[in-house]
């Protein structure tokens, strides 16, 4: 088992390298550089002045050189300073990461807590009205853009209750209730898509497991149906849920951007999007790398979990 | 690290083709004819919705002759006989725009998923067939693509090639390609284990022939399901890109773009956002229903292993 | 900065002999060219709260204002974004300031003396303290002027003081006197200082003490507590502010809420006290009994711009084609469809900018008149009756750019010009615009410290001239623009700039479209807020008080 984990981790290195190169190049490929942004609307500068400014910002030198400077710093936890507000990027991320992590955690929690039972009911009562209702609900969930849902939720609470979530970030350590009241709507908005997927996945796996030999045997031996559903089928059905959750962490990290903007939360996705618009290279690079690492990390955890749940995998891989 | 592959394992490793019976009601369908397989009405409903959308896109402009870009009416009119879906913020007929948007959405879905289908299948096929170093390199590449946030990738592509629908479609296609590559690879690995592949090779079939004649047809089922799922996702992604001004360009109508600009008027004229919202929901729903139905027909056991790798902006 | 509209006579204008000073200063300063934007003519730009007679203004309380854009940074120098200034304005002041009517009046400089055409001595107000307790001296002013010329990052290093005013050097004459030397006589100095966008006075050595991108030390009515990017800016009252009794508020928070629907929801739920909205949202919010709508013109206007480069020989290089485009555009239709009927015609200088712009009548009846037959005739005369196809780039946000472009597209169809709109993310647009990498673009102009700021780009001495229209030639315009900035007699300047505008409206290398009316909606408890012509939120930190 340990060997398996070590092997999987080692396999990450080339991926991480590829990701970092990919990120570096993507950022350089963005049309319009920081100098153009710095110029804003008032353009009176000559090319010499621009070049001077580039040097001041450390944007000269060959790409390999710039890459090396970036990645060698990143390994030591130094991502440079934001080009837009001169704050160390690591400080900005330290402030914004908890916000997004909490948002993603809550969204996944909602997705699992609501999605799993719905999937179970749907599978256990296949082709019943309840099955169709939850499948329909699930599909609606997959087809609503989250920015639209967020807008509707805001409109609804402000019109009906005259209430919107608190506008400045409240740390859960200071005021847990305030924090939750702030996060519930955005978390709900981004959870719906994941919820629908979890539900569909649980349903499909359940159906499959319920059709398998050992389940039939159990049923034939007179084990109660309820017990079969919950003891055998559900346990197996949860395995793919772990995969989805691992995968969605990465997707939600950046997918939450638009919803974070709508709710005025300075999370990682929001910062990333603004950094892209401002061409804040160090900020884009660090944020994207962070999201990629979290994505890769969670998938590693999922892989390892799988190894525990199903020993055949480690043997094969 | 590699969910597409590993997720398949616990399920697929279990047994061969599913001749399972008993109370769950899954099995007997296989013995009926194709139409008989549509036991599940959801699949039929999905096919109906998709068919309706295609019809609207094709015939709509001939039946409802208003120009979707002409600002010929008063702004923000509620639905009436003259404008069944009302008019928008510049006085354009919303129904005409919804009809035009149907063309756009189907085009976005078809082309971006088409790109992912071709490229992803190629990568997955090569990786699964040759294994070893080819597999390792290709799959690391796919891992890298997977790990880069789709949104950033899309912005870079739109920025590089220019913000328009064609490039948005390319961007969406590239972003969902890794999902296709993984699923195809997993399916190929599975099929490779079947005896008929062994025999084909023993009979001297070339690699090319094995891939084309034996592997591809046998991974059709998961692919088809994947395609229907991602058609919906692609349409939603175009909406998200339009939200950021990277999708269809004004004044051309796309559902995503309409939904985005209508948000400003949600209070003043809710109709404006209701129609594109419903249209998106309707067509995504249709594709997903169709996918569910196909899944049940083609392989009742495929279950959750395909088609649920999400993409979201 | 007692930058408030007339009503509260109760509050002292400025301590000491400010008023007296000002009057005779203006006489002197007039020789050099103060009052650049100049008095009185700003009708409609400041319709603040109703007069409250002599009733004392209640002090205290907090206002939370929604910003529609993140400030990005709040560095005092080289801040190119309007939103930069929104974030930093409450804490920084310059030597001179504008009142709500854009009249210039002394701020940190108590008075100034024009020594000769190229030399001005500013005498600083005594006893003014920075937020860190340090007293303001001429050394601080010199330090600030030096940084205005070379703004450190994260300010834009290319926004140099010498790009706006021909300042040669500054010199500390005594503890309270700063001498500014000019390369040549320059009419733009005072306006540029009063604008305060690029000219705040900060304590000497500030950049070594704080991260100027997120912190700051000024003399302004509010002291910065915290700036969290993409979240909020938090200010508290400067207890030692040199204007007695000001500011009225104890605290001011600016919350970044880029999404208009989120701002609407927050305003309805009393989570914010006010913000900026589009015309349609404002009309909906106006129905709420607890809210009031403020509206006013600002310097922001939309403009269609061409490139005219050597060897390209595009159809619009022919002046008649540009004129045809101009006459085929129905500006009233744009105003009605995109701006809910609110907006004005604009020349190259926006309406409301002091005595400088051409009158609405002249624009409407002559230069910017919608005249389709004339446009068609011009196209025929230019041999373009069959029209052509062209790509128009514009901003993807805010949405009104794409909407104006869409309306224009339909209008230009009538003279057979097929416009393909490409709405770009702002960074991409800015880059292409700055490099001249476009055929047509739909862009925006905003506030300037001096009228020269609107016309300098039509003179070949401006770098951008050679990027956008190196092939454009009109010596009369060049001469007027070149002489206008060194003509110190304001009265003589006015006809020069008017003539230049008329010539430009014949040449039309840039086609001004419409000046946008800005809407701000506030809760009833917020008093004396007004829509500032400068597109800043000046009322927030100068005149606003809360009641109830």
Q: How far A188 CA lies from chain B's nearest CA (Å)?
A: 15
Structural domain of residue B205, as residue ranges?
A: 35-64+87-310
Per DSSP, the three-state class of C174 is: strand
Q: How far is the C-alpha of C517 from the C-alpha of C515, rounded, in Å?
A: 7
Query: Do A240 and B267 count as a contact with CB atoms less than 8 A apart?
Result: no
Contact C124, C109 (CB under 8 A): yes
**Which band of pLDDT confidence, cut at 50, 70 and 90, is reported for residue B257?**
confident
Closest CA to C15 of C151, C126, C113, C103: C126
Q: Give tens-digit pLDDT for C439-474.
A: 999 999 999 999 999 999 999 988 889 889 999 999
| Count of the separate structural domains present in chain B | 1
Using a CB-CB cut-off of 8 Å, the residues of chain A touching B22 are 211, 215-216, 219
Return the percentage of chain C with pLDDT > 90, whole number. 77
Chain B neighbors of C410, CB-CB under 8 A = 69-71, 251
Quickly tell me which residue has 């290093």 as its tokens: C157
Of A248, A296, A313, nearest to B9 by CB-CB distance is: A313
**Residue B161 near chain A (CB below 8 Å):** no
Burial string for B276-302 (b: 16+ CB within 10 Å, else e) reads bbebbbbbbbbbbbbbbbbbbbebbbb
With tokens 């001749």, the residue in question is B19
Domain annotation covers residue B142: yes
Alpha helices in B64-206 (DSSP H): 94-130, 132-147, 150-161, 165-192, 195-202
Cα–Cα distances in Å, from B123 out to A139, B117, B180, B186, B191? 30, 10, 9, 12, 16
Residue with the two structure tokens 């976005």: B108
Q: E strands, C76-188, where?
A: 96-98, 104-106, 109-116, 119-124, 167-174, 177-182
Q: Which two tokens stand for residue A78?
A: 């130094």
Is A251 within 8 Å of B23 when comparing Cβ atoms? no
- Write out chain C residues lying below 8 Å of A266, CB-based: 228-231, 256
Residue of C481 and C48 predicted with greater confidence: C481
DSSP assignment string, chain A: -HHHHHHHHHHHHHHHHHHHHHHHHHHHHSSS-HHHHHHTT-----HHHHHHHHHHTT--S-HHHHHHHHHHHHHTT---B-TTT--BHHHHHHHHHHHHHHHHHHHHHHHHHHHHHHHHHHHHTTTSHHHHHHHHHHHHHHHS-HHHHHHHHHHHHHHHTS----SS---TTT-HHHHHHHHHHHHHHHHHHHHHHHHHHHHHHHHHHHTSHHHHHHHHTT--HHHIIIIIIHHHHHHHHHHHHHHHHHHHHHHTHHHHHHTT---HHHHHHHHHHHT-HHHHHHHHHHHHHHHHHHHHHHHHHHHHH-THHHHH-
Q: Do C280 and B264 touch (CB under 8 A)?
A: yes
Q: Which residues of B touch A240 (CB under 8 A)?
A: 7, 10-11, 304-305
pLDDT at C476 over 90: yes
Q: Measured between alpha carbons, how far is C521 from C66 in angstroms, rounded to an integer? A: 10
**Is the backbone peptide bond immediately before C154 cis, with ω within 30 degrees of 0?**
yes
The model's pTM is: 0.87
List where CATH 3.10.105.10 sits in chain C. Answer: 298-517
Pairwise CB contact (< 8 Å): B152 & A11: no
- Inspect the interface and report whether the beta carbons of C424 and B249 lie closer than 8 Å: no
CB B263 within 8 A of CB B253: no
Searching chain A, which residue's CA lies closest to the CA of residue B39? A127
Interface touch B267/C281, C-beta < 8 Å: yes
Report the C-alpha gap between C32 and C53 in whole angstroms: 37
Per-residue model confidence as pLDDT tens digits over C97-116: 998 888 999 999 999 999 99
Residue B219 lies in a domain: yes
Decide if B156 is inside a domain.
yes
Cβ(C105)–Cβ(C22) below 8 Å: yes
Answer yes or no: do C230 and A271 touch at CB < 8 A.
yes
By Cβ distance, the residue of A15, A210, A313 closest to B140 is A15
- Structure tokens that stand for B25 in this block: 């009601």
Q: Which region holds residue B245: left if phi is over 0, alpha if psi is between -120 and 50, else beta?
A: left
Residue from C269, C407, C410 whose CB has the most chain B CBs within 10 Å, to mutate = C410
The pLDDT value recorded for residue C525 is 95
What is residue A37's predicted lDDT score, i.e. its pLDDT? 65
Cβ-based contacts of B90 with chain C (< 8 Å)? 337-338, 403, 406-407
C-alpha distance from B217 to closest chain A C-alpha (Å): 23
Mean pLDDT of C535-545: 95
DSSP string, B94-110: HHHHHHHHHHHHHHHHH
- Secondary structure of A253-289 in HEC code, one letter for each residue: HHHCHHHHHHCCCCCHHHHHHHHHHHCCHHHHHHHHH
**Residue C264: closest CA among chain B residues belongs to which residue?**
B267
| Whether B264 contacts chain C with CB within 8 A | yes
Going C527 to C531 to C533 to C538, the CA torsion angle's sign is: positive
Distance CA C172, CA C185 (A): 20
DSSP C366: I
CB contact under 8 A, A312 and B42: no
Cα–Cα distance, C66 to C260 (Å, whole number) = 10
Share of residues in chain A with pLDDT > 70 (%):
88
- Range(s) for CATH 3.40.190.10 in chain C? 62-263+528-546
3 state DSSP class of B81: coil
Cβ neighbours of A15 in B, within 8 Å: 1, 140, 143-144, 147
Do residues A301 and A246 lie in contact, with contact meaning Cβ atoms separated by under 8 Å?
Answer: yes
- Of all helices (H) and strands (E), which one includes residue C303? strand C291-306
Residue A180 in this model has a pLDDT that exceeds 80 = yes
A121: left (phi over 0), alpha (psi -120 to 50) or beta: alpha
DSSP secondary structure code for residue C129 in this structure: B
Quick check: B149 contacting A, CB < 8 Å? yes
Task: Please answer whether residues C220 and C236 qualify as being in contact, where contact means their C-beta atoms are separated by less than 8 angstroms.
Answer: no
Question: pLDDT of C512-522, one tens digit each?
Answer: 999 999 999 99
Chain C residue numbers touching B163 (CB-CB < 8 A): 396, 422-425, 428
**How many angstroms separate the CA of residue A96 from the nearest CA in chain C?**
10
Mean of all residue pLDDT scores within chain C = 88
A-B contacts (CB, under 8 Å): 206
Asked whether residue C529 carries a pLDDT value surpassing 90, the answer given is yes
Q: Do C72 and A278 touch (CB under 8 A)?
A: yes
Per-residue confidence (pLDDT) for residue B311, from 0 to 100: 34
Tell the CATH superfamily of the C62-263+528-546 domain: Periplasmic binding protein-like II (3.40.190.10)
Which H/E stretch holds residue B227? Answer: helix B220-243
In a domain, B75, yes or no: no
CA torsion angle C406 C408 C412 C414 (round to 10)? 80
Task: With beta carbons under 8 A apart, name residues in chain B contacting C407.
Answer: 71, 90
User: Which subunits sit against A, judged by 3+ Cβ pairs under 8 A?
Assistant: B, C
- Kindly list the residues from chain C whose CB atom is less than 8 angstroms away from the CB atom of residue B162: 422
Nearest to B149 by CA among A252, A190, A194: A252
Residue B207 lies in a domain: yes
Does residue C247 have a cis peptide bond before it, meaning omega lies within 30 degrees of 0? Answer: yes
CB contact under 8 A, B268 and C409: no
Which residues from A are below 8 Å from C426, CB to CB? Answer: 277
Cβ A277–C467 below 8 Å, yes or no? Answer: no
Which residue in C357, C363, C342, C276 sits closest to C102, CA to CA? C357
Residues of C with Cβ-Cβ distance to A159 under 8 angstroms? 268
Size of interface A-C (CB pairs under 8 A): 178
Per-residue pLDDT band at A209 (split at 50, 70, 90): confident
B160/A29 Cβ within 8 A: yes
Asked whether the beta carbons of C391 and C417 are under 8 A apart, the reply is no
CA C291 to chain centre: 27
Give the confidence band of C29 by pLDDT, cuts at 50, 70, 90.
Answer: very low
- Among the listed residues B307, B10, B227, the one whose alpha carbon sits nearest the alpha carbon of residue A242: B10
Residue A297 CB burial class (10 angstroms; 0-12, 13-18, ≥19): middle
* CATH number of the domain that residue B271 is part of: 1.10.3720.10
Lowest mean pLDDT, pick from A13-22, A38-47, B91-100, B109-118: A38-47
CB contact under 8 A, C157 and A53: yes
- CATH architecture entry for C298-517: Roll (3.10)
Q: Residues 6 or more apart from B79 whose CB is under 8 A from it?
A: B85, B86, B271
Residue numbers of B between 263 and 302 with CB closer than 8 Å to A: 263, 266-267, 273, 277, 280-281, 284-285, 288-289, 292, 295, 300-301
Least confident span in A162-176, B33-47, C10-24? C10-24
Q: Is residue B69 part of a domain?
A: no
* Phi, psi for residue B82 in degrees, rounded to 5: -70, -40
8 A C-beta contact, residue B288 and residue B204: no
Percent of chain B at pLDDT > 90 equals: 23
Return residues 203-242 of B near C (CB < 8 Å).
none
- Considering only the beta carbons, identify the residue of A85, A164, A263 that sits closest to C229: A85
Report CB contact under 8 Å: B312, A200: no
How does pLDDT run across B190-201, given as a tens digit for each residue?
A: 888 888 888 888
Residue with tokens 């008017």: C498
B253, part of any domain = yes
Query: What is the CA A228 to chain-centroid distance, rounded?
Result: 34
Residue B302 has pLDDT above 80, yes or no: no
For the cut 60, the answer to whether the pLDDT of residue B114 exceeds it is: yes
Binary contact (B6, A243; C-beta < 8 A): yes
Q: What was the pLDDT predicted at C445? A: 92
Nearest CA in chain A to C259: A262
Q: Which of C78, C211, C262 sits opposite A86 (nearest CB)?
A: C211
Residues sharing a CB contact under 8 Å with residue A313, sequence separation 6 or more, in sequence order: A303, A306, A307, B6, B9, B10
Q: B27 falls in which pLDDT band (50, 70, 90)?
A: very low
Which range is least confidently modeled, B222-231, B275-284, C78-87, C147-156? B222-231
Of C281, C396, C422, Cβ closest to residue B264? C281
Task: Find out whether C484 and C496 touch, Cβ atoms under 8 Å.
Answer: yes
Residue B39: the pLDDT is 58
Q: Of B240, B220, B239, B216, which is closest to residue B228 (Cα–Cα)?
A: B220
* Average pLDDT estimate for C480-506: 94
In a domain, B2, yes or no: no
**Mutation site for B-interface testing, chosen from A14, A208, A309 by largest number of B Cβ within 10 Å:** A208
* Local confidence band at C34 (pLDDT 50, 70, 90 cut-offs): very low
B159 touches chain A (CB under 8 A): yes
CA–CA dist C107, C16 (Å, integer): 12
Determine the straight-line distance between the first and last CA of chain A, rounded to whole angstroms. 11
CA angle A284, A285, A287 (to 5 degrees): 65
The alpha-carbon gap from A175 to the nearest alpha carbon of chain B, in Å, equals: 31
Contact B89 C278 (CB under 8 A): no
User: pLDDT tens digit string along C152-170?
Assistant: 878 887 788 988 899 999 9
Residue B244 to residue C424, Cβ atoms within 8 A: no
Residue A317 pLDDT level (bands cut at 50, 70, 90): very low
Which residue in the set A14, A132, A292 is minimally distant from B147, CB to CB? A292
State how far the Cα of A100 lies from the Cα of C514, in Å rounded to an integer: 41
Give the Cα separation of A82 and A95 in Å (integer): 14
Of A81-90, A256-265, C492-501, highest mean pLDDT: C492-501
- For residue C397, pLDDT over 50 is answered with yes
């Amino acid at each position: 088992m340990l060997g398996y984990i070590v092997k999987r981790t080692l396999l990450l290195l080339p991926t991480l390298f590829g990701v970092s190169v990919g990120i570096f190049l993507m950022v350089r490929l963005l049309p319009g550089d920081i100098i153009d942004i710095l110029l804003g609307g008032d353009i009176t500068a000559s090319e010499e002045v621009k070049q001077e400014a580039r040097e001041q910002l450390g944007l000269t030198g060959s790409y390999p050189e710039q890459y090396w400077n970036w990645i060698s710093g990143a390994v030591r936890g130094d991502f440079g300073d934001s080009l837009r507000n001169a704050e160390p990027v690591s400080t900005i991320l330290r402030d914004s990461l908890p916000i997004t992590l909490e948002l993603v955690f809550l969204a996944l929690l909602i997705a699992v807590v609501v999605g799993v039972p719905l999937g179970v009911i749907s599978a256990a009562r296949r082709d019943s009205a309840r099955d169709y209702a939850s499948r329909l609900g699930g599909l609606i969930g997959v087809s609503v853009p989250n920015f639209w849902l967020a807008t509707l939720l805001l409109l609804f609470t402000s019109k009906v209750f005259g209430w919107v979530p608190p506008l400045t970030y409240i740390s859960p350590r200071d005021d847990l209730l305030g924090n939750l009241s702030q996060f519930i709507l955005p978390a709900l908005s981004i959870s719906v898509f994941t919820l629908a997927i979890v539900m569909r996945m649980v349903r499909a796996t359940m159906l499959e497991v319920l059709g398998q030999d050992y389940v039939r045997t159990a049923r034939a031996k007179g084990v109660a149906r309820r017990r079969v559903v919950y003891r055998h089928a559900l346990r197996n059905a949860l395995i793919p849920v772990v995969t989805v959750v691992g995968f969605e962490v990465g997707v939600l990290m950046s997918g939450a951007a638009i919803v974070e903007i709508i709710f005025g939360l300075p999370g990682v996705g929001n910062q990333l999007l603004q950094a892209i618009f401002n061409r804040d290279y160090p900020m884009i690079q660090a944020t994207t790398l962070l999201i990629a690492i979290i994505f890769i990390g969670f998938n590693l955890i999922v892989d390892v979990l799988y190894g525990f749940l199903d020993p055949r995998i480690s043997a094969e891989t | 690290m590699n969910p597409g592959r590993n997720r398949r394992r616990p399920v697929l490793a279990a047994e061969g083709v599913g001749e399972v019976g008993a109370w769950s009601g899954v099995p007997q369908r296989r013995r009926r004819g194709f139409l008989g397989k549509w036991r599940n009405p959801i699949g039929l409903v999905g096919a109906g919705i998709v068919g309706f959308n295609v019809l609207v896109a094709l015939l709509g402009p001939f039946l409802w002759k208003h120009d979707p870009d002409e600002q010929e009416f008063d702004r923000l009119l509620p639905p009436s006989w003259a404008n069944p879906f009302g008019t928008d913020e510049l006085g354009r007929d919303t129904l005409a725009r919804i009809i035009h948007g149907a063309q756009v959405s189907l085009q976005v879905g078809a082309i971006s998923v088409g790109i992912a289908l071709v490229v992803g299948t190629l990568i997955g096929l090569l990786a699964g067939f040759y294994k070893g170093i080819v597999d390792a390199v290709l799959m690391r590449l796919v891992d890298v693509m997977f790990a880069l946030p789709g949104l950033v990738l899309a912005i870079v592509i739109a920025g590089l090639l220019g913000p328009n629908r064609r490039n948005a479609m390319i961007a969406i296609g590239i972003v969902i390609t890794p999902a296709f590559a993984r699923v195809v690879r997993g399916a190929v690995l599975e099929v490779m284990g079947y005896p008929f592949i062994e025999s084909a090779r023993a009979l001297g079939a070339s690699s090319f022939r094995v891939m084309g004649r034996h592997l591809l047809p046998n991974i059709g089922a998961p692919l088809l399901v994947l395609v229907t799922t991602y058609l919906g996702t692609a349409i939603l992604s175009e909406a998200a890109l339009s939200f950021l001004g990277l999708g269809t360009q004004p004044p051309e109508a796309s559902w995503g773009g309409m939904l985005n600009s209508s948000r400003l008027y949600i209070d003043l004229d809710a109709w404006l956002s209701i129609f594109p919202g419903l249209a998106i929901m309707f067509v995504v729903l249709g594709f997903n229903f169709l996918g569910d139905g196909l899944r049940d027909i083609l392989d009742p056991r495929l279950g959750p292993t395909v088609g649920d790798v999400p993409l979201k902006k | 900065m007692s930058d408030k509209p007339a009503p509260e006579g109760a509050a002292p204008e400025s301590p000491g002999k400010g008023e007296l000073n000002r009057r005779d200063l203006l006489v002197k300063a007039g020789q050099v060219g103060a009052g650049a934007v100049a008095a009185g003519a700003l009708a409609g730009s400041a319709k603040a709260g109703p007069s409250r007679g002599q009733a004392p203004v209640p002090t205290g309380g907090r206002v939370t204002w929604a910003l529609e854009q993140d400030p990005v940074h709040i560095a005092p120098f080289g801040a190119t974004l309007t939103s930069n200034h929104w974030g930093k304005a409450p804490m920084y002041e310059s030597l001179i300031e504008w009142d709500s009517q854009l009249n210039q009046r002394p701020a940190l400089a108590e008075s100034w003396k024009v020594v000769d055409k190229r030399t001005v001595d500013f005498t600083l107000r005594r006893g003014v303290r920075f937020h860190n307790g340090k007293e303001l001296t001429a050394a601080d002013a010199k330090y600030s002027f030096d940084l205005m010329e070379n703004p450190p990052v994260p300010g834009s290093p290319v926004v140099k003081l010498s790009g706006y005013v021909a300042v040669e050097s500054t010199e500390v004459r005594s503890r309270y006197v700063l001498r500014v030397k000019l390369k040549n006589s320059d009419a733009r100095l005072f306006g540029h200082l009063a604008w305060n966008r690029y000219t705040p006075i900060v304590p000497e050595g500030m950049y070594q003490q704080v991260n100027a991108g997120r912190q700051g030390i000024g003399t302004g009515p509010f002291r910065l507590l915290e700036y969290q990017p993409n979240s909020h800016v938090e200010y508290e009252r400067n207890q030692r502010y040199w204007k007695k009794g000001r500011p009225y508020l104890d605290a001011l928070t600016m919350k970044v809420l880029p999404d208009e629907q989120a701002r609407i929801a927050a305003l309805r739920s009393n989570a914010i006290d006010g913000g900026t909205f589009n015309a349609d949202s404002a009309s909906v919010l106006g129905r709420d009994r607890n809210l009031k709508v403020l509206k006013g013109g600002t310097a922001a206007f939309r403009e269609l711009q061409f490139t005219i480069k050597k060897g390209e020989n595009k159809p619009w290089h022919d002046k008649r084609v540009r004129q045809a485009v101009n006459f085929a555009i129905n500006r009233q239709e744009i105003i009605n469809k995109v701006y809910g009927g609110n907006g004005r015609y604009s020349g190259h200088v926006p309406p409301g900018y002091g005595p400088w712009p051409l009158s609405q009548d002249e624009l409407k009846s002559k230069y910017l008149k919608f005249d389709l037959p004339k446009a068609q005739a011009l196209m025929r005369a230019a041999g373009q009756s069959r029209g052509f196809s062209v790509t128009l780039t514009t901003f993807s946000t805010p949405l009104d750019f794409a909407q104006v472009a869409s309306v224009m597209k339909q209008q230009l169809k009538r003279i057979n010009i097929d416009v393909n709109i490409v709405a770009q993310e702002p960074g991409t647009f800015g880059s292409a615009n700055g490099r001249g990498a476009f055929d047509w673009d739909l862009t925006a102009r905003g506030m300037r410290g001096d009228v020269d700021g609107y016309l300098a780009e039509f003179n070949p001495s401006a770098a951008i001239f050679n990027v956008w229209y190196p092939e454009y030639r009109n010596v009369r315009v060049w001469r007027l623009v070149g002489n206008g900035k060194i003509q110190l007699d304001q009265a003589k300047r006015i006809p020069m700039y008017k003539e230049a505008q008329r010539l430009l409206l014949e040449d039309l290398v840039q086609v001004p479209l419409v000046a946008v009316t800005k809407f701000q909606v506030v809760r009833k408890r917020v008093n004396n807020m007004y829509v500032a012509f400068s597109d800043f939120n000046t009322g927030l930190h100068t005149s606003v008080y809360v009641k109830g």
